A and B are shown apart, each in its own frame.
Chain A
Amino acid sequence: MPDYLEAEVDTAVGAQPQTETQAGVDGAARAADRPAAVEVRGLRYSYPGGFPALRGVDLALAPGEKAALVGPNGAGKSTLLLHLNGILRAGEGEVRIAGLPVVQPNLGRVRALVGLVFQNPDDQLFSPTVLEDVAFGPLYMGLEESEVRRRVDKALAAVHMQGYGARMPHRLSLGERKRVAIATVLAMEPAVLALDEPSSGLDPRSRRALIRLLQELPQAMLVATHDMHLVRDLLRRTVILDAGLVVADGPTSEILGDMHLLEEHGLEAP
């Protein structure tokens, strides 16, 4: 069992440590005694100013399940991701991570459980060196220095960036920065990865390398993206979000085969 998933699940709500790396395709088919990695129910959110970004979203992700979140610009994809770790707080409805409600007293634990990777690695990587950036999350989890260093090494190895610790982020290529950005959350050993446009701006080679990397990771994953090739190659489940609502949710092969559905929501088949 990979220790990314180990023992980070809430015990207060009676969860068992997860023992599988691959769960079923459908969130509804998850084992009844294990809480979903992500559970969103009736989530509504309006930005200050009144613009309704999410208008009642329901979504569940089983432990280890990987799903694509697609939809036109302004559909609410990034807004939804920001709810998973409580950066934005639900106006109405509920978000649970591994059974743990995303509410103020739980925020510390929730943020350790959800690795949110921002679209622009220059926003994600804010420290002078790669080492300090990857160590940031573990330090704030209150871990021992030696454990922090162990996790940094392991996370950098997981994204194939060993030996880059002393490098400065602005000296790295975009592909390298994206990898380090993922390492910064892997070091927290989260149960869920929420990725915003992970492949945008990458050349084909870096893109393929990124897809391979994401395939290797055992976490549950919600990937907001416009990159339908990435969806086809990496994610077995696809959720279409449009105007703040889930308009389709099912196996990627079916959704990508439905040209009418894709066109209706401003998407393209790969």
Chain B
Amino acid sequence: MSLLALDERFQQGTSLLHRLDARAKLLVALAFIFAATLTPTGRWEVLGALAVLLAAGVALGGLSPLLVLRRSALALPFVLAAVPLLFTREGDAVFTLPILAWRWTATDAGLEALLTILLKSWLSMSAAVVLTATTPAPDLLRALRGLHAPRVIVATVSFMYRYIFVIGEEAQRLMRARQCRSAVAGRGSGGGVRWRARVLGNMVGSLFLRSYERGERIYDAMRSRGYDGELKSLAATSLRRVDYAVLAIAFGLLAALETYARLSGG
């Protein structure tokens, strides 16, 4: 079940990237995403340089490029939102599509904008993929805490991470129970669409109730150990020299690239 595949985000390894402090990696990934987002439209050489940096990250992490490509494909559906740009930007006509009663004219400026957005979102997604593939989720959560992200949000994400597997398994058991009772016995049985929809509705409701009750039990377990509404955690260790070095190099390169993109821009 796809929920359980969440577990496999982290790839075991001992590469430089794996050993780097999660806070450093998180900051570099965020800076990379900002840099990609801030790159002006149509600056292919800058986007290309970012892709080279990303490739270096993939190599330093000892990751398979195929794995990164496959996971970053997750960003593609969202690019659909940018497709209208193709037809709405002013510019020279490139091609025309007759759709419904209208003729849609794509412009070169629109094409440039679309390709830029496509590349930017793919670069950003890939940076996130490299981050999650080289950093165990608990380390990422601790990094968020260490960087003073709002504690309530970090706690919420951490509960979600802890219980998504538990709830996923519960859902799987419910699905199995449904399958067991949807045997084919003569004509027209085995579960019509309406029947399936109703069972699915019941399943979602029952999952919600179970999760709600579990939430109450967890809250009792927390109170039993002294929880008083304030979120506390162990202090973070300090960054090492290698973490600072990587941070400095990455930030330097990204800042240089973006400065170049702005100063030399047409």
Interface residues of A (CB under 8 A from B): 82, 85, 87, 108, 111-112, 114, 116, 118, 120, 122-129, 131-132, 135-137, 139-141, 145, 148-149, 166, 168-170, 184-185, 188
The answer to whether A111 and B162 have CB atoms under 8 Å apart is: no
Listed by A's residue number, 20 A-B pairs whose Cβ atoms lie within 8 Å are A85-B224, A111-B226, A116-B221, A118-B224, A123-B217, A123-B218, A126-B159, A126-B163, A128-B137, A128-B141, A128-B161, A129-B138, A131-B234, A132-B233, A137-B225, A140-B226, A140-B227, A145-B235, A169-B162, A170-B7
Size category, B interface: 20 to 34
Chain B residues lying within 8 Å of A169, measured Cβ to Cβ, are 162
Closest CB in chain A relative to B22 CB, distance in Å: 12
Closest CB in chain A relative to B233 CB, distance in Å: 7
- If A118-B217, A128-B162, A170-B162 touch, does A139 touch B233 (CB 8 Å cutoff)? yes
| Other-chain residue from A131, A145, A188 in contact with B225 (beta carbon distance below 8 A) | A188
B43 CB–A CB distance under 8 Å: no
**B residues 178-236 in Cβ contact with A at 8 Å:** 214, 217-218, 220-228, 232-235
Measured in the bound complex, the distance between the Cα atoms of B159 and A98 in whole Å is: 34
The answer to whether A127 and B162 have CB atoms under 8 Å apart is: yes
Closest CB in chain B relative to A39 CB, distance in Å: 19
The answer to whether A123 and B162 have CB atoms under 8 Å apart is: no
Closest CB in chain B relative to A77 CB, distance in Å: 15
Q: In chain A, what residue has the closest Cβ to B164?
A: A170
Measured in the bound complex, the distance between the Cα atoms of B225 and A185 in whole Å is: 7
Closest CB in chain A relative to B158 CB, distance in Å: 5
The answer to whether A140 and B221 have CB atoms under 8 Å apart is: no
B165 CB–A CB distance under 8 Å: yes
Nearest 4 A-B pairs (CB), nearest first?
Answer: A140-B226, A128-B138, A137-B225, A123-B217
Given contacts A85-B224, A136-B222, A145-B235, 13 further A-B contacts (CB under 8 A): A108-B226, A111-B225, A112-B226, A118-B220, A122-B166, A123-B214, A123-B217, A123-B221, A124-B221, A126-B218, A127-B158, A140-B225, A140-B227
Measured in the bound complex, the distance between the Cα atoms of B222 and A137 in whole Å is: 8
Q: In chain B, what residue has the closest Cβ to A116?
A: B224
The answer to whether B234 and A135 have CB atoms under 8 Å apart is: yes
Chain B residues lying within 8 Å of A127, measured Cβ to Cβ, are 158, 162
Measured in the bound complex, the distance between the Cα atoms of B165 and A184 in whole Å is: 21
Closest CB in chain A relative to B155 CB, distance in Å: 10
The answer to whether B222 and A126 have CB atoms under 8 Å apart is: yes
Chain B residues lying within 8 Å of A129, measured Cβ to Cβ, are 138
Measured in the bound complex, the distance between the Cα atoms of B221 and A105 in whole Å is: 19
Chain A residues lying within 8 Å of B137, measured Cβ to Cβ, are 128, 168
The answer to whether B217 and A120 have CB atoms under 8 Å apart is: yes
Closest CB in chain B relative to A201 CB, distance in Å: 14
Measured in the bound complex, the distance between the Cα atoms of B165 and A126 in whole Å is: 12
The answer to whether B220 and A170 have CB atoms under 8 Å apart is: no
Measured in the bound complex, the distance between the Cα atoms of B232 and A137 in whole Å is: 10
Measured in the bound complex, the distance between the Cα atoms of B223 and A185 in whole Å is: 12
The answer to whether A132 and B138 have CB atoms under 8 Å apart is: yes
Measured in the bound complex, the distance between the Cα atoms of B221 and A137 in whole Å is: 10
Chain A residues lying within 8 Å of B136, measured Cβ to Cβ, are 168
Closest CB in chain A relative to B113 CB, distance in Å: 41
**B residues 41-100 in Cβ contact with A at 8 Å:** none
Measured in the bound complex, the distance between the Cα atoms of B214 and A112 in whole Å is: 23
Measured in the bound complex, the distance between the Cα atoms of B91 and A265 in whole Å is: 86
Measured in the bound complex, the distance between the Cα atoms of B233 and A129 in whole Å is: 12
Measured in the bound complex, the distance between the Cα atoms of B220 and A116 in whole Å is: 10
The answer to whether B226 and A137 have CB atoms under 8 Å apart is: yes
The answer to whether A82 and B220 have CB atoms under 8 Å apart is: yes
Measured in the bound complex, the distance between the Cα atoms of B231 and A140 in whole Å is: 9
